[in-house]
Structure 1
């Protein structure tokens, strides 16, 4: 088992206010703070830059929303549907995504620090050009995810399906991939240099050197 990065958890203290009319609150305040949002659909957010601070989202579906340049700090998403939502160019700190659907979600060009993805479905999730400083991705499905040209300071993958994921121009030195499925992972020799892999994975990665083992 990989040694997970010790992350700072979302700092949520005291009782959160339950919020029903989320869209109106966001358009009026450009932010949500100290709120809990449960069992709702949030639809049609666009042409707005929003911040979430000390918020919990449970069983929430986001649809037809554009959350580009979002600022998030101390936020929990639990069992939420965030599929195809753009969080591009956002700042995401002390945030947890647990049992969330993030298929096709865009986190490209984000700053992520102390972020957890656990038991998430993230096929085609786009994390290109993102900077990771303390990010754990565990027990998740990240098939065909895009990690192209990312900057990694601290990051852990554990028991995650990364098959066909794209890591071109992303240095994985010191990253342990041994518990993950990396079948058909797309990267270069320089990208994988210094990574920790299993024996079986190492044999598969010989294709990068264009050699055949008899």
Structure 2
């Protein structure tokens, strides 16, 4: 699946994330940010666009209703941050720590999570279109009642993830790993799995395979 990359110009000026407090509106764009510490803040309705953000710490920060477009996050920590009701388009999270991040009621389009930690992350009631999870840990993550369209899980750990009320039709999890999942039989229809996973699902359903 091809997804659209963030549109970020070259030769952008460097800023600090704290500079957002000096803007007329809570927004930053057309810049590069390195090594900013922005933890435990409350700043809803932020807008970020056309920028790179590297080695920054946003853990426990409330970014609810954030709008992120054309942004690359690299080596950033969003652990336990609140991004509920966010709009995230043409965004890459690379080597990021997103432990327990709250993405509930959000909209994703052309988003890539690459080599990142998303354990215990909450995506409930979100819409994901053209989203790729690559080499990412999603242990005990929550995808309750999500809408998936062109979503890929490649080489991910999805153990104990919750897909209740979320159709996995057309979703390929065959090269990802898990010991158990929370998912209904109806929502599994059309999901692409490998033969070992098929046996796992059979045992979860209480079937006894004799050969």
Query: Partner residue of 1:202?
Result: 198
Q: Which runs of 5+ in 2 are unaligned?
A: none
Correspondent of 1:67 among 60, 63, 71: 63
Q: Which residue of 1 aligns with 2:49?
A: 53
> What's the CA shift string for 1:68-119, capped at 9, x where partnerless?
0000000000011111111110000000000000000011111000000000
Q: 175-184 or 203-212, which moves further after superposition?
A: 203-212
For residues 59 and 154 of structure 2, what CA distance do their matches in structure 1 show? 29
The answer to whether the 8 A contact 2:83-2:101 is kept is: yes
- Please name the residue that 1:17 is paired with: 13
Q: 1:41 maps to which residue?
A: 37
Q: For the residues of structure 1 that align with 2:161 and 2:40, how far apart are their CA atoms?
A: 30
Q: CA deviation at 1:15?
A: 1.8
Contact persistence 1:189–1:208 (CA under 8 A): no
Map Cα deviations across residues 51-73 of structure 1 (whole Å, 9 max, x no partner): 00112110111133100000000
**Mapped contact 2:73–2:92 kept (Cα < 8 A):** yes
Aligned length: 209
Please point out which of 26, 29, 34 is paired with 1:30. Answer: 26
Unaligned residue ranges in structure 1 (runs of 5+): none
User: How big is the shift at 1:208?
Assistant: 4.4
**Which one of the candidate residues 115, 119, 124 is aligned to 1:123?**
119
RMSD: 1.3
Cα pair 2:44 2:65 within 8 Å, conserved: no
SS of 2:190's partner is coil
Tell me the TM-score normalized by structure 2. 0.95
Tell me by how many angstroms 1:42 deviates: 1.2
CA distance in 1, matches of 2:202, 2:22: 53
Q: Which runs of 4+ in 1 moved over 6 A?
A: none
- State the distance in 1 between where 2:199 and 2:40 align: 48
Distance 1:96 1:170, change over 3 A: same
1:47 positional shift: 4.6
Aligned-pair distance for 1:212? 1.5
2:67 paired with 1:100: no
